[in-house]
Amino acid sequence: MNKFQKRVLKQFPEAYIEYSNYGVRVVNGDNYIAKEFYTPDTDNEDMAWEYAALACKMTQNFNRAHPLRMDLVDVESKLARIDRRKRKGRRVK
């Protein structure tokens, strides 16, 4: 088990390799994990795990920083933290 497979299985414990006419891909239930990112088809299992790990990583990064996915409490706390830093910076000068 390589690092890409571990990363994917941590997020999707039911993930498995599926062989199809398109090649090898990693599937969780009925969902192709890297579908949203239009990864190229591959015949290699290791590359399929790598593409799935990349999709998991990119999804996590988008969810962390995307403004539409942040709820209002996160935005308010973020703005309060920025204002606190600005006020603190003015006192230092």
Q: Are 42 and 51 in contact (CB under 8 A)?
A: yes
Orientation angle between helical segments 45-65 and 3-11, nearest 10 degrees: 50
pLDDT of residue 54: 93
Q: Report domain extents, the chain.
A: 3-66
Give percent above pLDDT 90 in the chain. Answer: 41
> pTM, whole model, 2 decimals?
0.68
pLDDT of residue 22: 84
pLDDT of residue 65: 72
In this prediction, residues 36-51 reach a mean pLDDT of 90
Q: What is the pLDDT of residues 69-85, one digit of tens each?
A: 666 667 788 888 888 88
- Residue 20: helix, strand or coil by DSSP? strand
Q: Are 8 and 17 in contact (CB under 8 A)?
A: no
Flag whether pLDDT at 61 surpasses 90: no
pLDDT of residue 51: 93
Flag whether pLDDT at 15 surpasses 90: yes
